[in-house]
Amino acid sequence: MTISLHDVHDAGRLVRWGLDVKAVPGAHEEYAQLLARYRLEDAFRETVLATCAGLEIDVLSVDDQGFIIAPRMGSIFSLSTMNDWESGMDPQSRRRSGLVLLTIIAVGYPTSDALERTTVVRVRVSQVERALREAVRVIEDAEPDDSEAQTAAHEIGLMPPVKPGATRQLAKSSTLAAIRAGFEHLVDAGMARAAGSVDGDPEYQLLDRMRVNVREMVLPDTHVTLLGHTRAAAVIATSAATTEPTNEGALA
């Protein structure tokens, strides 16, 4: 396999288009041509993939929608600090923001099968709001009063759906504002598009990039991290239960 400098240049160009999350091949001739080369020329494809590997980038999908890539954890192309996501958030707000995002995903892709269909999904803010409150209700019914889950659920449950802010915009501490902020982040990342509103209820379209990203990265990565923490928490709880003296132990 002979690779020319021209191929290397073009491979770099294709990665550049992949990093431009809002660009679509149908609107940029060079992008479309490079995608065609990627599909038809084995040597070029391997050069592109090797370039991506060097840049710590995963290729998630290559199709008519474009060259969909994602940075690996710690890559120069991934968020470096959480302030890059949204500045000035305290840990509670960050947790709430994450739970809102998870709810958007749950509403948009209620089953694993939904992640396998190349369908653009419409989701309204009110649907996410309802799903969020329903999840909170489940926790409040099921968990003991002093549990962490109960505290977190209570925090979300206390948020008013709408709260006017000083500048006539929704206050950040309202559920609808938190949900809209979540959607707007997705719009910025090229994963969603605003689609007007239905009776004043904002609606968004979750694009194919979102589906691919959720399936390939969001769910597996989040799941693995979550498992690590739940196992760690379980080990700590077990260890505490076996080492802490009980009344019976003290008596014995």
Partner 1 sequence: MVAQLAPSLLDASFYRRLRVLLRTAPFHRLRELRTRQSWPTERIYDPMAMAAAAVDQVVARSGLVNEYDFDTLVGDLASLAGLAEPDAAPSEWRCVAEWVVRSMLGEDESTTEYSVEHGDYRGGYRLTPLRWHLLREVQRADGRIVLTASVEVINAMRTGLDLDVEDAQLAQETVLRAQLERGDLGAAEDSADEGMRLSLEFAAKMRDLLDLTRLNLDAVDWESQFQSRVDRALAHIEARITAEHDMIEHLSTSADFEDDDVRRRALEIREKIRRCLTQHRTLHGLLITAPKVFLEEQLRQSLGGRTRSRLRIVVTEDLFLPTLALDLERATDVVSVLQVALAGPTPRRLLHLGAIITSLLHTSSDDEVVVVPEEIVTLAERPSDELDPDLLDTAYDLLRSCRQGPRLLSDLLVETDDPAASELVRLLAQLLFDPEDTEARSAGFAGDATLPLEGLGSALTGRTFRAAGYYGDDLLVGAADLVAAHPVQSAANVVSLPIGVSP
Asked if 151 and 135 count as a contact pair (C-beta separation under 8 A), the reply is: no
Burial pattern 171-181, b for ≥16 Cβ within 10 A else e, equals: bbebbbbbbbe
Letters for 137-156 (x = contact with partner 1 by CB under 8 A, - = none) are -xx---x---xxx--xx---
Mark the segment that binds partner 1 (CB under 8 A) among 3-11, 173-181, 230-238, 241-249.
230-238
Which of 1, 5, 29, 88 contacts partner 1 by CB under 8 A? Answer: 88
Q: Which helix (H) or strand (E) holds 3?
A: none
CB of 13 to partner 1, least distance (A): 14
Question: Using CA atoms, how far apart are residues 162 and 31, in angstroms rounded to an integer?
Answer: 43
Cβ closer to partner 1: 74 or 249? 74
Query: According to the binding rule CB under 8 A, does residue 131 interact with partner 1?
Result: yes
**Residue among 124, 110, 117, 111 nearest 199 (CA):** 124
Query: According to the binding rule CB under 8 A, does residue 243 interact with partner 1?
Result: no
CB of 208 to partner 1, least distance (A): 5
**Residue among 196, 18, 65, 52 nearest 122 (CA):** 196
Cβ closer to partner 1: 91 or 245? 91
Query: According to the binding rule CB under 8 A, does residue 186 interact with partner 1?
Result: yes
Q: Binding-site residue total for partner 1 (CB under 8 A)?
A: 109
Mark the segment that binds partner 1 (CB under 8 A) among 5-13, 173-181, 219-227, 241-249.
219-227
Q: Is 141 helix (H, G, I), strand (E, B) or coil?
A: helix
Cβ closer to partner 1: 158 or 232? 232
CB of 31 to partner 1, least distance (A): 9
Q: What does the radius of gyration of the chain's CA atoms come to, in whole angstroms?
A: 23
Question: Using CA atoms, how far apart are residues 247 and 245, in angstroms rounded to an integer?
Answer: 7
Which of 21, 133, 173, 187 contacts partner 1 by CB under 8 A? Answer: 21
Q: Is 9 helix (H, G, I), strand (E, B) or coil?
A: helix
Mark the segment that binds partner 1 (CB under 8 A) among 1-9, 19-27, 173-181, 238-246.
19-27
Burial level of 65, CB count in 10 A (0-12/13-18/19+)? Answer: middle
Query: According to the binding rule CB under 8 A, does residue 72 interact with partner 1?
Result: yes
Which of 13, 33, 102, 173 contacts partner 1 by CB under 8 A? Answer: 102
Cβ closer to partner 1: 155 or 161? 155
Amino acid residing at 76: I
